[in-house]
């Protein structure tokens, strides 16, 4: 399974499914990361975590541990 964590900086991917449950999953979805949406991985923070992505036309910061819940293709 390929997750958002594995995506290289500069690549655009499409979300297949969200794993996990509860608060973190809901929060990720509330912010617009839902099935089928395109995510562009813009950069890594200087210390290597979190990652900055562009989704639905805005910039979002997400921790790598949480990015693992997002399955992409």
Tokens representing 49?
A: 């975590």
Q: How far is the CB of 18 from another protein (least distance, A)?
A: 7
If the CB atoms of residues 6 and 57 are measured against another protein, the closer one turns out to be 57
Site for another protein in 3-62 (CB under 8 A): 18, 21-32, 34-35, 37, 43-50, 52, 56-62
CA distances, 50 to each of 14, 33, 36, 64 (Å): 19, 16, 22, 6
Q: Are 24 and 69 a contacting pair, CB within 8 Å? A: yes
Given the rule CB under 8 A, which residues bind another protein?
A: 18, 21-32, 34-35, 37, 43-50, 52, 56-63, 66
């Amino acid at each position: 399974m390929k997750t958002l964590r594995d995506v290289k900086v500069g690549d655009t991917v499409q979300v297949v499914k969200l794993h996990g449950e509860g608060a973190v999953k809901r929060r990720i979805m509330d912010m617009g990361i839902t099935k089928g949406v395109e995510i562009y991985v813009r950069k890594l923070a200087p210390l290597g975590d979190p990652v900055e992505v562009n989704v639905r036309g805005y910039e979002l910061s997400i921790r790598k541990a949480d990015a693992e819940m997002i399955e992409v293709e």
